[in-house]
Structure formats: structure tokens, C-alpha cells
Amino acid sequence: MSLHSGRMHGGGIVKENGAVSLADLRDGQEGSVVALRGGHGLVGRMAALGFTVGATVRIVRNPGRGPIIVSVLDTQIALGRGQADHVLVRRP
Amino acid sequence: MTQAPAVDEPRPPTQKAKSITIALAGQPNVGKSTVFNILTGLNQHVGNWPGKTVERRMGHLEHHGVGIDIIDLPGTYCLTANSPEETITRDFVIFEQPDVVMVVINASSLERNLYLVTELLALHRPMVIGLNMMDVARQEGYEIQPEELSAAIGAPVVPMVASRGQGVHELLDAAIAVAEQGEPQELNRPEIRPDHETVLVQVQKIIARHVPAPYPADWVALKLLEGDAEITDLMELHLTPEAWSLVQDLLREHEDAIIAVAGGRYEWISRMARAALVRPRVGHVTLTQRLDKAATHPFWGLLVLSGVLAIIFGLTYAIGGPLQEWVEETGIEIISGWVLSLLAWAPEWFQALIADGVIGGVGAMLTFLPILVIFFACMGIMEDVGYMARAAYVMDRFMHSIGLHGKSFMPLFLGFGCNVPAVMGARILETRRNRLLTIMLAPLVPCTARLAVLTVLAQIFFPGNAILVTWLLTGLPLVVLALSGVVIRLLFLRGEQSAFIMEMPLYHLPNRRTIGLTVWQRTLSFLRKAGTVILAVSVVVWALATLPHGEIDTSYLATLGRGLEPVGQLMGLDWRSMVAILTSFIAKENAVATLGVLYGVGEGARGLGDVLAGQFTAASGLAFLVIQMLFIPCVATLAVIRQETDSWKWVLVNILFLGVLALGGGIIAYQIANLVL
């Protein structure tokens, strides 16, 4: 299942309208969340941590492999690459 | 939700001189335990939630003649049904109907923390909010007006610095005032985002008269839209098939409603924040950011971690070692001398039972108590300071490859001192799967007792190559651990990827009281639960080694050892070695002592080394050591595995897993060594 601010759209970690996976941003880059993918469980958990459509995120650390650190809602969250790929963002 | 601001269902007014139940809720890393500890002190009861392996802490206090029960709910970010902690929290509030829900929130990440408040507001209980860590927020450049926040939400908001004891009692006063006031609170609740308002109303209408008490109907409707599995099952059971299929159609059409629900909560949150929060200017570099430059760096982070680990080991050797030695050599002697002088009247067998069986067992427990306390303290400090999350972050890459979570690293590392804190440390892991896997693999981390046996015997068996053998055999269980992790992941957890989502809390100074209480409680719970098991097992093993004639050579244990000789022969070990392996079950260091007794060390002028060197070949010596390094953990570790998993099944699984591994490893080592050497 995939969840979007408005309509549903196809699976896969495809970039759409210039949106990229959160794991594709580099250190210090900012983005705005456009969609969250995954089941209700993951989306609910991510939402509770501040990853919601429209939220501004900033990459604190992305070493290229392994988990990344993202700043969202004044908190730093470590995310596995798998989970980061479920967050689609658009660069400002 | 449609009612904002809304009026709570009237509650029977609390009579005076009654007791008040307060549910303490909060997200992780908000200082909730500190608040709980300040309020209840040592007057708390620690157990497990019924049927769950989640810790439950309850406390009682008297305040101006009012009896107050406080239940410390598990730390959760939200109230979905995705984890036992979340289910426990929401079920408690729904079914136990506490007089007040006391939510502790972290002022330095106000908006994220208000998310749990929005979820709790939907459960219609009176609420007070503790705005904790005001000092950290100030240090990070935030300015928060508690009165504004209170006015906006409609519930009391008390600013606090719980780590310094500030504001905690004011929070309690506010909670009591709310519990005792007859008037229900007028709380401002979030609404779903407008694009999904209609569907929410439709669902509410269909389910309205079918929601079983005491579930709030509007909350159930929201949870249906959020796709909550538990509530979905509940309503499927309580609705007619026709009504249920109507609901299902609506839900299917609005699969993305969860985003609208969460979005509505965040809109409410930003309204609250606009009223009460002033952010730091852009470019403000905080202490946490500065420290994390090194602590989470892919290279420097590992170096920092090595430094921290080195300090822990240094402490263990500098403080734990001498203490342990003193307990072993002097402490036990004093106790047994004292007890025996009291028992001078008793028959000899009874004196032996007490001196060797009981005190032997207690002694084994006491000798590793210093290390245990040091490790519990190190764990507590690292958690409280906020470093634990950084260690988990830098190690996640490596732990991930063996199917474990980054957070498993610290508990497993503690296993080098003693496997007991390793098993107990697995509590910090979120899912039961991660906890179980870590607990099952923890005994493969060679503890100090095993390393001591290895060092002593390697020098005897391999005089020329002792250091090499010691290194290789220390590495062996670690390699087995990694391989087991990979195999378990491939065989049993295929495709089941464990999500790594973890908050990196801001660094702050540790609170002595919180850490002290944690160490005290963990040590006490270990002594209480493991203590009885260790005592019982050590008496049983003592009896087996003594009965029927008072000699270990002719004892039941020896008979058992002789029965195991056929297995032993496959690795060149006689019954004495098998018995030594069996007695190491009480404590690993027993292996050496038993060998000494059975081979009659001390009966001539020959020392342990000479006697054993004559009895073991290089191959059988190697096999013996391999078994020692891989064998079933000691009884203390098994006792805490029982305690932490809340099941004998996993104790048995662990015994079988490691028993087979050790014997198999011993046989392979012996056969290969015979071919090569």
C-alpha cells in the first residue's frame, strides 16, 4: 500500500515529480515530505515521530551506507536506509 | 474528531479521603522515570504487565491525607497497537479509567512530544501536563510559555526540571486538584483534516451504537480510519455483517486516511506551538550538534565508542576486580566461618550442606555482584546521558549484517563482563524479536569467568602457544555468534526486516538518583529472582556431588559423568572432564576447581598444572576448552533468561542450542586436531 497526500500511486521507490527518497539527500540538505510509503504500522510510527506530509526535514548525517540521521520537528531521528526509502521528499 | 473544545463525560465526583489513581505517560527520553522516582521514592513495586514482558512500575504515596497510586506507563511515541508498550498504555487508560493522566513532555522537542498528548486527549480522561527539561530547552535556545500552552489546550501545564527536582510536586498538586474538582475539564482536541471529515462522520454514524464499553466511540472511529488492526478486529466482531461491509468500503476508499488523521494532529500541534513556543534563531549551534560531530561520525564515532568501552573495562578491572577478589578470598571465608560457628551443634552433613552447598552458591553469586553493579551503572549512565543511542547508531551497520539491531550492541558488549547484564540489558530493545535474538546470542559472548578458565587451562595445555590459543578461543564464540545470527536470520526471519527507527536524544547531565535507583532495582530483582534459582541449583549440584558416600569420586554426579563418557570419548575426554563441565553450570570458574579435586591435586607435591598436563593431550585439551567457551551459560544467566523472556521454553531452547553447539564443536575440534597435530 502506498499513502499520498491526495491520491494513490504505483509501488516501487520511484521518483515522481522530482521527489526523491530521503536517503538520497546529502548532509545538510533540506526537503519537504511529499509522501510516506509502507503499511499502516510503519506510517503510523513515522507520523508519530514527525514524518508527515508537508513536514520539513534536514539531513544531519548520511554516510552513504548504513542508517542516516534526520532532523525533523526539532528532534534528531536515526533511520535505517530501508525506512528512509519509504519517505519521499522534494528539495525546496 | 468533531468536538473541539469539548466537554468530558461527567465522572462521579471523587469523595474526600479517597485514593486517586494517576497514570503517568510520556514518550521515551522525557525524564518520566525521574518524575516517577521523585514522587514514589523507594516505595514502588516493579513487576511485569500481566502476560507481557514489559516492565510495570507502580508506586504509592500519601499527600495531604490523600492516598495516591501512580502507575508508570511504558514510554511510547503514539498509541497505535503496533507494540506491546503502546497497547498497554492505551488499554490502561481505557479500561482502568485513571482519575488523571499525567503526561510528561520534553520541552526541547515540544511539537513531537505533543503528538502523544493528542492521542491521549482522544481517550477523554482528565489530564495534566508536565513540561519537563525546561533547562535543556533553554540551553538549546527555545522559549516556551507554559501558561499559553495551558490556556490553548485547556489542561494545567507545569514547567519542570525533574532532574533537579523542580516542579515535580507542583505537577502532583495540579493532578490532585484536577482529580478532586467536580467540573470536567474543557479540553481542546485536534480534528481530522477537513478533506476526511465527512468520512469520519460517516464511520461514526455506522458504528455509533455498537461500540462496546468502555471504548470511546469517536476514538474507535479514528482508529478505524488509521487502520488499527486491534480496533478493526474489535468492530468486525461487534457490527452486523452489513454494517461492517459498509465500514470496510469506506475504509478501502480512504486508505490514506491515516495521513489525514496524523495531519490533523499536527495542525493542532502547530496551533499550540504558535501560541507558546519561540524557536532559536537559525544557525544556533547546540551542544548536542557539536558533540555529535564526532560521536555519530562513521570513523570518529567508532573511535569515541572504543574510548567509552575502554573506560568501562578500565572501571571493571580497577574497581570490580579487587572487590571481586576480596569477596572471593576474604568475604566468603568470613561468612562461612561465622555461619559454621553458629552451626557447631549441627550434624556434620548439615554443616557441609550449608558451607559447600548454600554458601558455595551464594558465594558464586556474590563474587560477580561487583561487576554486575558496575555494568548496570554504566548502562544506566549511558542511557541517561543519551550516548546509548549514538553507540547503537554507529554499530547498526555491523549488527545489521548479523540480523541484529544497532541497539543490541551495548547489551552484548556488557556480556564480556558477565552475561547477566547482557541478558537484562536486552530490555532496551523495542521488539520482542530483537530482544529474544539478543538474549539467545548473549551467552556466546565470553564472560570474565570463562576467560579466566581459558587463561589458566591454556597455559597448562599449550605451554608454548598459550597466548595464541587464548586469542583464537576468545574469538571462536564471537565468530559463532555472528554466524548464528546470520543463520537464524536466513532460516527463521527471512524478509522480516527489523525497522531501525530511533530517536537521538539531546545530551544532558546524568541524574544520580535515577541511575542509583535503576542500579538498585536491577540488582535487587536479580538477587531476588535469580538468587533463589541459583541457591536451589547449587544445593542440588552439591548433593549430587556428595551423595551417597560423601566422596565426589563415587557420587551420583560421577555416575552421571561416567554415563556421559561415550560422548566424551569422541573428544578424548574422560568422566572427570565431563563432571567438570557439568559443575561449571553453577559458575564457570568451577571447572578448574572440579578438575583439581577429581584428579587429586594436592595429594602429592604436584600442582594443578603438572597433574592436568599429564591427563590431557593437545587435542583433548583443545576440545575441553572449546566446550568451555561454547557451553550452556551458568545458572545465573539462565535464571535471568527465564526472568526476561518470561518463559521456560526459551531457557530450554538456549540450553539445547548451546549444548549441541558446544558438544559438536568439541568433537570437531578433537577430530581435526588429531588429524593435524
Domain match, B110 and B32 both = yes
Per-residue confidence (pLDDT) for residue B221, from 0 to 100: 95
Task: Report how far apart, in Å, the C-alpha atoms of B601 and of each of B595, B606, B612 are.
Answer: 8, 7, 9
Q: Do B499 and A48 touch (CB under 8 A)?
A: no
- Give A 2-41 residues with CB within 8 A of chain B: 3-5, 8, 36, 40-41
φ, ψ dihedrals at A34, nearest 5°: -110, -25
Interface contact A85, partner B, CB < 8 A? no
Domain holding A71: CATH number?
A: 2.30.30.90
Per-residue confidence (pLDDT) for residue B496, from 0 to 100: 56
C-alpha grid cell, residue B512: 544520580
Q: Is B392 exposed, middle or buried (0-12, 13-18, 19+ CB in 10 A)?
A: buried
C-alpha grid cell, residue B482: 555472528
Point out the residue among A1, A50, A60 whose CB comes nearest to the CB of B112: A50
Q: Do A76 and B393 touch (CB under 8 A)?
A: no
Partners of residue A61 in chain B, C-beta under 8 Å? 292, 296-297
Q: Do A78 and B389 touch (CB under 8 A)?
A: yes
Residue of B nearest to A75 (CA): B109
Per-residue confidence (pLDDT) for residue B494, from 0 to 100: 61
DSSP string over B542-555: HHHHHTTTT-STTS
Q: Which residues of chain B have pLDDT under 70?
A: 1-17, 282-284, 364, 493-498, 600-607
Q: Give CA–CA dist A54/B254, Å, rounded.
A: 19
Domain match, B102 and B207 both = no
pLDDT tens-digit map of A52-79: 999 999 999 999 888 999 999 888 999 9
B556-563 and B531-546 are packed helices; what angle lies between their axes, rounded to 10 degrees?
90
Q: Give CA–CA dist B314/B323, Å, rounded.
A: 14
Domain match, B246 and B213 both = yes
Per-residue confidence (pLDDT) for residue B456, from 0 to 100: 85
Q: Give CA–CA dist B317/B306, Å, rounded.
A: 16
B305 within a domain of the structure (yes/no): no
Domain match, B104 and B15 both = yes
Domain match, B99 and B177 both = yes
Domain match, B222 and B107 both = no
Spatial contact of A67 and B500, defined as CB atoms under 8 Å apart: yes
| Residue A47: band (very low, low, confident or very high) from pLDDT cuts 50, 70, 90 | very high
Spatial contact of B555 and B548, defined as CB atoms under 8 Å apart: yes
Q: Is B290 exposed, middle or buried (0-12, 13-18, 19+ CB in 10 A)?
A: exposed
Partners of residue A76 in chain B, C-beta under 8 Å? 288, 292, 503-504
3-state secondary structure of A3: strand
Based on its alpha-carbon atoms, the radius of gyration of chain B, rounded to whole angstroms, reads 29
| Residue A50: band (very low, low, confident or very high) from pLDDT cuts 50, 70, 90 | very high
Task: Report how far apart, in Å, the C-alpha atoms of B309 and of each of B409, B412, B425 are.
Answer: 11, 12, 15
Quote the domain boundaries for residue A66.
Answer: 2-90
Q: How many domains does chain B have?
A: 2
Q: Which residues does residue B502 pair with via DSSP β-bridges, in sequence order?
A: A78
Phi-psi map region of B465: left, alpha, beta (phi>0 left; psi -120 to 50 alpha):
alpha
C-alpha grid cell, residue B395: 554499530
Point out the residue among B109, B255, B279 whose CB comes nearest to the CB of A75: B109
Domain match, B126 and B98 both = yes
Domain match, B181 and B198 both = no
Spatial contact of B442 and B426, defined as CB atoms under 8 Å apart: yes
Q: How many domains does chain A have?
A: 1
B264 within a domain of the structure (yes/no): yes
Q: Do B298 and A63 touch (CB under 8 A)?
A: yes
Quote the domain boundaries for residue B115.
Answer: 6-187
- For residues A47-76, one letter each, b for 16 or more C-beta atoms within 10 angstroms of the residue's C-beta and e for the rest, the string is bbbbbbbebebebbbbbeebbbbbbbbbbb
Domain match, B171 and B59 both = yes
Domain holding B215: CATH number?
A: 1.10.287.1770
Q: Do B504 and A69 touch (CB under 8 A)?
A: yes
Residue type, A51: F
pLDDT tens-digit map of B197-243: 999 999 999 998 899 989 999 999 999 999 999 999 999 999 999 99
Task: Report how far apart, in Å, the C-alpha atoms of B483 and of each of B419, B480, B489 are.
Answer: 19, 5, 10
Per-residue confidence (pLDDT) for residue B585, from 0 to 100: 84
B163 within a domain of the structure (yes/no): yes
Residue from B256, B390, B503 whose CB has the most chain A CBs within 10 Å, to mutate: B256
Tell me the three-class secondary structure of B555-599, residue by residue: CHHHHHHHHCHHHHHCCCCCHHHHHHHHHCCCCCCHHHHHHHHHC
pLDDT tens-digit map of B326-370: 887 787 778 878 888 888 888 877 887 787 777 777 776 777 788
ipTM more than 0.90?
no
Domain match, B39 and B164 both = yes
Partners of residue A49 in chain B, C-beta under 8 Å? 77, 112, 501, 503
Domain match, B71 and B97 both = yes
Cell 508498550 maps to which residue? B85
C-alpha grid cell, residue B288: 548536542
Domain holding B183: CATH number?
A: 3.40.50.300
B81 within a domain of the structure (yes/no): yes
Q: Of B187, B215, B248, which residue sits at a domain end?
A: B187
3-state secondary structure of B375: helix
The answer, yes or no, to whether residue A13 has pLDDT greater than 60, is no
B17 within a domain of the structure (yes/no): yes
Domain match, B127 and B261 both = no
C-alpha grid cell, residue B168: 515535580
